[in-house]
Amino acid sequence: MLTLMGVFFFLNIPLFMANFIDPRCFWRINLNEIQDEYLGLTCAFILAAVQKPIEKDYFNKTLNFLKTTKNHKYALALVFSMDEINRNPDLLPNMSLIIRYTLGRCDGKTGIPTPYLLHKKKQSPIPNYFCNEESMCSFLLTGPNWEVSLSFWNFLDSFLSPRILQLTYGPFHSTFSDDEQYPYLYQMAPKDTSLALAMVSFIHYFNWNWIGLLIPDDDQGNQFLLELKKQSGNKKICFAFVKMISVDDILLEQKTEMYYQQIVMSSSNVIIIYEETINFIDLIFRMWEPPVLRRIWITTKQWNFPTSKRDITHGTFYGSLTFLPHRGGISGFKNFVQTWFHLRSKDLYLVMPEWKYFKYESLASNCKMLKSNSSNASFDWLMEQKFDMAFSESSHNIYNAVYVVAHALHEMNLQQVDNQAVDNGKGASSHCLKVNSFLRKIHFTNPVGDKVIMKQRVIMQEDYDIFHFENLSQHLGIKVKLGKFSPYFSHGRNFHLYVDMLEVATGSRKMPSSVCSAECSPGFRRLWKEGMAACCFVCRPCPENEISNETNMDQCVNCPEYQYANTEQNKCIKKGVTFLSYEDPLGMVLALMAFCFSAFTAVVLCVFVKHHDTPIVKANNRILSYILLLSLMSCFLCSFFFIGHPNRATCVLQQITFGIVFTVAVSTVLAKTVTVVLAFKVTDPGRRLRHFLVSGTPNYIIPICSLFQCVLCAIWLAVSPPFVDIDEHSQHGHIIIVCNKGSVTAFYCVLGYLACLALGSFIVAFLAKNLPDTFNEAKFLTFSMLVFFSVWVTFLPVYHSTKGKVMVAVEIFSILASSAGMLGCIFAPKIYIILMRPERNSTQNIKESNSTQKIKEKSNS
């Protein structure tokens, strides 16, 4: 235990010392390391098959040579897969796979560039191998960097083709996908288009649409960017920034600081870091030691963000989530490592840093127990947990490459009778051509269960697992599977999230929001301004009487004809039907006024009838007075046609009754005025005008004028009669039922005709207002017409400035006011004399007044 603690202490010394190093110095110290990580350490192996068994410890030399390097994982995968095949009696029987040579920088040291090792002609890089006696084909396994693999190919193509077939175990690169240009080179990593779809599905699941992207500035990064844009276009996902980082950028401190500021200042809460870019970003954060960055880091490689432990605030998770291809477990690998390193199961994490994680895929309770007990539990209890010893992607490609070689040789051996002949030193070339024909079309299922298809340019739809890595200590951690993506899931749902594991691993089911613009709630619509991304918009309220009942609507919709938008403008409400009713306060007041005026007119008529023999009644043509009182009463009563639920009959009666009864009233006033003029102007008994007065000709004015108005009304009814109409706009939230006048021209013709009659009455009455007589009513007729004009001249602008039932009320009030004006001006003085001054309404008093008047006139003369 003390030894183990000592190991932990020495491993922590570099991190402890880094706290006392200036950031610029720290940068220079780590630059070479990061460059190597970014470029990928070159490690190549030449494999061959021999027709004899190999010694048990044959691979020890290779493993010991690479034991202390970062490429140790590649050597372990290679040796394990070759040993597994050599032990399999059903695959390549009577043959063994061997490692002829290890090339490149597998030891982590800078050496002579690999192609030049093979280019020396004075000595063979592989003694007794590339000689004329050798007739077997060899296989060059290169990677993980594609540029170095290309350098190997260029050399092989010039000097050794086709004596060696090349297989690359690095990431897929489109450069090598041309069969004609690279006929003897095979990429073990298939072209995968589902990674971009997997990330987009994950992003869409959490409704994120504002994403940052950090990718390498190379062909692989460009291909990923194209796929990501293609998949995100349908999901309406935008990029807050896209930074393509090249190797040259790593060497410039100013560039790195610019990238650092871009990440820190970005409004995006979700950032994708693709492939080797993660090493560069990790160095940036270790150099500048930023404050807690609340971000979700989506990566394609295992990475623990330096401040991830402090990022769980307010129940929201921030940290790194890693997308890794779904791979089955390699059975026997754990025992192989234990046997070779002579380690116990609990000490396996000492071999490689990647194996320090306890893996949990479905048992949330165990994961929760581990996290809660990690600080207090004994070391032995922790070591009893299951370590994750999964292959890296490059190691998995090496595993498949070895099996591809074995299957190709096996298939060729089954069909080849004699493949050992050598013709003038061309045996290896001939053998490679034959092996190549089998390699090109080989396909099989490896022991893990993965399908391997060697036909080039095949697009594979990979499954992906989403993991969260968390460090429990410097050398121990947990690896939790949070979800899975598969393009083969049914019902179009390619992504499945394990919610319980998410809560256990991150401490919360809540993920932060990452959107350019907040959602437009119902009642608002999205509006894009020039230069804004598709995901960035501003929210504007819907126009009047339009609604939006969903979030993020681009257009508001009009409410149906009989509905209106509520105050929040998120739903339509059925409009209430209203009209000027008797229950309405305004309707109630107007109806009461009409009733009172009608009753008062009836009282006046009764008084006149009762006192029909008195001088004041006789002097003013009582028949005309009766007709005028009845017409005024009808004017008051016609107001009731305007109140209540409109129907076709009331709409017609409103305007026709109003026009005719008012014509009768005004024409009666005109007849009375003409009678007064004739009575005082025509004093010569022999003149013809006296005959008109005596015969009652002025009384014919009423039917003649009324008949003309009736003709106008008949034309109105024939052309465009009034009808029931609805007013949807005058009062918000209500449909007002009103009577439409039909022909507005006919309505104003009726009013104009009434105005002409009133004007004529006013002129005649004005001329007769100074005629001497005891009961001369010319002045009262003049005032009544003046009131009539005032009311209806005021009516016109007020009527056109109102809508709905207020417009109806204005018309009723004008009818009542003009009728009351005529009633008051003409009959109020007479009622006063009849009821209050009856002595003035006698024949004797009139005679005495006339005698007194004559005496005064004589004395004045």
Whole-number Å distance between alpha carbons of 20 and 564: 71
The winner for highest mean pLDDT among 9-18, 119-128, 287-296, 456-465 is 456-465
Q: What is the mean pLDDT of residues 441-462?
A: 79
Query: Range with the lowest mean pLDDT among 449-463, 573-587, 649-663?
Result: 449-463
Q: What is the mean pLDDT of residues 733-742?
A: 85
pLDDT score recorded for residue 314: 44
| Residue-wise pLDDT tens digits, 283-296 | 676 666 655 567 88
Strand segments (E) across 428-476: 443-445, 451-453, 459-460, 464-471
| Residue-wise pLDDT tens digits, 368-418 | 445 555 444 444 545 555 556 677 888 889 999 999 999 999 988 888 655
Judged against a pLDDT cut of 60, whether residue 35 lies above it is answered with no
Res. 365 pLDDT band, cuts 50 70 90:
very low
Judged against a pLDDT cut of 80, whether residue 47 lies above it is answered with yes
pLDDT score recorded for residue 548: 93
Whole-number Å distance between alpha carbons of 480 and 469: 7
Judged against a pLDDT cut of 50, whether residue 721 lies above it is answered with yes
The winner for highest mean pLDDT among 117-131, 380-394, 539-553 is 539-553
Q: What is the mean pLDDT of residues 158-168?
A: 79
Judged against a pLDDT cut of 60, whether residue 95 lies above it is answered with yes
Strand segments (E) across 448-527: 451-453, 459-460, 464-471, 477-485, 495-497, 524-527
pLDDT score recorded for residue 598: 94
Judged against a pLDDT cut of 90, whether residue 302 lies above it is answered with no
| Residue-wise pLDDT tens digits, 249-276 | 666 666 777 777 888 888 888 999 987 7
In one-letter notation, the amino acid at residue 645 is: H
Query: Range with the lowest mean pLDDT among 25-39, 227-241, 330-344, 742-756?
Result: 25-39
pLDDT score recorded for residue 132: 37
The winner for highest mean pLDDT among 335-344, 347-356, 847-856 is 335-344
Query: Range with the lowest mean pLDDT among 121-130, 183-192, 396-405, 671-680?
Result: 121-130
Judged against a pLDDT cut of 50, whether residue 217 lies above it is answered with yes
| 319 in Cβ contact with 306 (< 8 Å) | no
Q: What is the mean pLDDT of residues 296-318?
A: 62
| 324 in Cβ contact with 464 (< 8 Å) | yes
Higher-confidence residue of 275 and 708: namely 708
pLDDT score recorded for residue 295: 82
pLDDT score recorded for residue 343: 60
Q: What is the mean pLDDT of residues 111-138?
A: 45
Q: Which of 138, 150, 143 is nearest to 177 (CA)?
A: 150
Q: Label residue 383 exposed, middle or buried (CB < 10 Å: 0-12, 13-18, 19+).
A: middle
High-pLDDT (> 70) share of the chain, %: 71
Query: Range with the lowest mean pLDDT among 332-346, 425-439, 529-543, 726-740?
Result: 332-346
Q: Which of 370, 614, 373, 640 is nearest to 478 (CA)?
A: 370
Judged against a pLDDT cut of 60, whether residue 348 lies above it is answered with no
**Token pair in block for residue 726:** 């609805």
Give the pairing type, strands 210-216 and 557-558: unpaired
Q: What is the mean pLDDT of residues 81-86?
A: 91
How many CA atoms lie within 13 Å of 674's alpha carbon, on the beta-carbon side? 23
Res. 556 pLDDT band, cuts 50 70 90:
very high
46, β-bridge pairs: 101, 140
Higher-confidence residue of 10 and 118: namely 118
Cα distances (Å, whole numbers) of residue 320 to 133, 317, 506 = 56, 10, 10
Mean pLDDT rounded to a whole number for the chain: 76
Question: 282-311 as b/e, with b when 16 or more CB fall inside 10 Å?
Answer: bbbbbbbeeeebbbbbbbbbbbbbebbeeb
Residue 645 backbone phi and psi in degrees, to 5: -65, 120
Query: Range with the lowest mean pLDDT among 172-186, 238-252, 435-449, 806-820?
Result: 238-252
**Which 3 state secondary structure label does DSSP give 569?**
coil
Q: What is the mean pLDDT of residues 325-335?
A: 79
Judged against a pLDDT cut of 80, whether residue 239 lies above it is answered with yes
Judged against a pLDDT cut of 70, whether residue 102 lies above it is answered with yes
pTM for the complete prediction? 0.65
Q: What is the mean pLDDT of residues 477-500?
A: 79
**Token pair in block for residue 57:** 């410890």
Q: Which of 364, 329, 338 is nearest to 478 (CA)?
A: 364
Handedness of CA 337, 341, 342, 348 (dihedral sign): negative
Judged against a pLDDT cut of 60, whether residue 858 lies above it is answered with no
**Which 3 state secondary structure label does DSSP give 631?**
helix
Whole-number Å distance between alpha carbons of 394 and 480: 22
Judged against a pLDDT cut of 60, whether residue 306 lies above it is answered with no
**Which 3 state secondary structure label does DSSP give 453?**
strand
pLDDT score recorded for residue 820: 92
Judged against a pLDDT cut of 50, whether residue 114 lies above it is answered with no
pLDDT score recorded for residue 736: 85
Q: What is the mean pLDDT of residues 768-785?
A: 71
Q: What is the mean pLDDT of residues 434-443?
A: 87
Higher-confidence residue of 211 and 731: namely 211
Q: What is the mean pLDDT of residues 204-233?
A: 88
pLDDT score recorded for residue 392: 81
pLDDT score recorded for residue 162: 73
